[in-house]
Structure formats: C-alpha cells, structure tokens
Amino acid sequence: MRFDMNRLSGQERYKILASTIVPRPIAWITSISADGVRNAAPFSFFNMMGNTPPTVAIGLMPQDGRLKDTAANILATGEFVINLVDEQNAEAMNLTCIDAPANIDEIDLARLPVLPSETVAPPRIASAPVSMECRMLSSVVTGPLQTIVVGLVNMVHIRDEFVLDAERCYIDTPRLGLVARMHGSGGYLRSGDYFQIDRPTWKEYTEGKADRPKPSPV
C-alpha cells in the first residue's frame, strides 16, 4: 500500500508517521514563559542528534492554531529542561498533556517535586531519573507554527542509583525503566523487553566470524 503524503491531510500524515516511527523517547520539558509562568509538557518527537557538541532535537507542533506554551517559552527565553519519563512518573506526565490555559502552572497541577537547575532558569523534575539542562542552539520553522528546536545540553542530572561508574560514565540504562510513546491516543511502551546484537567489524565479516543475517522475506 502506497501513501502519497502530498495528497493526505495533516491528520492523516500524522497517523502514518506516528504509527510507524515507534517507539519514541519522551522529552518531558519544563520551561518558563517570559512572564515567569512555569510549564511542563511531554513531547515524543525527540531524540539525540550528536555528542560534539551534545545536541538534542525536539519537534514542536501547534495546538488549536497557536504555538504550544512550551514552544513559545523556548523561543522567547532559549532555555528548557528535558526530563526523561519512567513508569512511576507516567500518570503525572500524562496529566501535563492537558490543554490548560497558558497561565496554568502544570508543575503545580501535577504536584511535581522540582529542584533548581544549575545553568538555566526552568526547574528540573526531582522524580525524573534523568534531567538535561538545555539552551536553544537553533530553530527551524518547518510549517505553520511547526518548529524544530535544536538544543545544546549543558548539564545532565542522573539519579545516583542509576550510575554504575561515574568516572567511566557507565549508566544502568535498563534500570532507568523509561517508557516510550507508541501509536494512537494513550499508547505507551515499557522498556523491559531487551535484547542485544553485537555490531560486527569488517574484518570479522570477511573472515566469516560474524553472523550473517538470513535474507529478509519480501
């Protein structure tokens, strides 16, 4: 089945992309407006884009014909914190999806404990397993009120129980228990079903020491 994206409506394109690009990590973003109102909201159009410098990207879509509060705050102040979401925070994260007026502090609404950040004004969520303090590096307008924000990660906070070896930067990733976004309204995925495939080297492959995959069915 072919889907010509140029002939589909915006909602239809969303269904195709959001149903197939999965699972997606969740950036639970805390930000502050130019007027000082705090905001917390989750975004699953998010990922790491590089390490030198440490870079992340977030896709920010409009809501009801206007910029979402998070997008407006980041574009106005250039600062935000990405908090990663584990299962114990999933319900609070979901509450911050609410279409609250711009003057509502979702941090208070969801009764989220917060801690001060060190390099940016927005606070970080204390119960999050990982928080990344970010400054906007650049932004790209990709459509009406649709923006990609590229952020520079200045500081990362990881709860002590998830750090295996701080000197070597070894993190116990499976224990983070992060949840990911799936397709459809309210669809999420736990990260417990884990498997590993070692990356081959060309030398191993040419010497027949690396596993060769079977031909994929068409």
**In the chain, which residues have pLDDT < 50?**
none
- How far, in Å, CA of 34 to CA of 40, rounded? 15
Measured CA angle at 128 (ends 125, 129), to 5 deg:
145
Alpha helices in 63-212 (DSSP H): 69-77, 90-95, 106-109, 173-176, 202-206
Tell me what pLDDT residue 217 has: 78
pLDDT at 39: 95
Report how far apart, in Å, the C-alpha atoms of 26 and of each of 130, 195, 200 are. Answer: 12, 21, 30
Residue 59 near residue 46, CB atoms below 8 Å:
yes
Q: Which two tokens stand for residue 208?
A: 């027949």
Amino acid 121: pLDDT:
98
Residues, the chain: 218
Closest CA to 96 of 128, 120, 118, 119: 128
Determine the Cα–Cα distance for residues 67 and 80; give it in Å rounded to an integer. Answer: 16
Quote the pLDDT of residue 152. Answer: 98
Q: What's residue 84's pLDDT?
A: 98
Check residue 175 and give its pLDDT. Answer: 95
Whole-model pTM?
Answer: 0.92
Residue 200 confidence (pLDDT): 87
**5-206 topology per CATH:** Pnp Oxidase; Chain A (2.30.110)
What is residue 92's three-state secondary structure?
helix
User: Do the Cβ atoms of 133 and 140 come closer than 8 Å?
Assistant: no
- From residue 31, alpha-carbon distances to 73, 98, 194 in Å are 6, 16, 33
Separation CA 13–CA 213 (nearest Å): 33
- φ and ψ at 200, to 5 degrees? -80, 160
Prior bond to 113 cis, omega within 30? no
pLDDT at 57: 98
